[in-house]
Amino acid sequence: MDDMKRTYIPHPIETSDITLPMELDRLIEAMAENVHEVWAQNRIEQGWTYGPERNDSLKQHPCLVPYEELNSDEKLYDRDTAIETLKLILKLGFKIVK
């Protein structure tokens, strides 16, 4: 099969049956912030800088700001990543303890 014509169909593990306890809310927010920090650090290491609009040729991105300065949609994206990661951990039978 020609790789250029192949269609990728994602099959994430179903986690809709997992409910996270409220005690993890602080962890979710800390993970979301860290997801953003790792992403930003990688972009900066690749030569990206802040720009008011995303510009791939100039390597500028409007989200290269501290987490607390992100708009709610961007924070939601990072939060969803954290939530789905935690749900997967529980779905696979691991326990989260402090």
3-state secondary structure of 87: helix
CA angle, residues 97, 72, 41, in degrees to nearest 5? 70
pTM, 2 dp: 0.86
CATH architecture entry for 22-90: Orthogonal Bundle (1.10)
Residue 6: predicted pLDDT: 85
The predicted pLDDT at position 4 comes to 64
Q: How many CB atoms lie within 10 A of CB 21?
A: 9
Domain ranges of the chain: 22-90
pLDDT of residue 48: 98
Q: Please, what is the Cα angle at 56 between 54 and 60, to 5 degrees?
A: 50
Stretches where the chain sits below pLDDT 50 are none
Q: Give the pLDDT confidence score for residue 3 in this predicted structure.
A: 61
- Dist. CA 98–CA 96, nearest whole Å: 7
Single-letter residue type at 62: P
State the chain's mean pLDDT as an integer.
Answer: 95
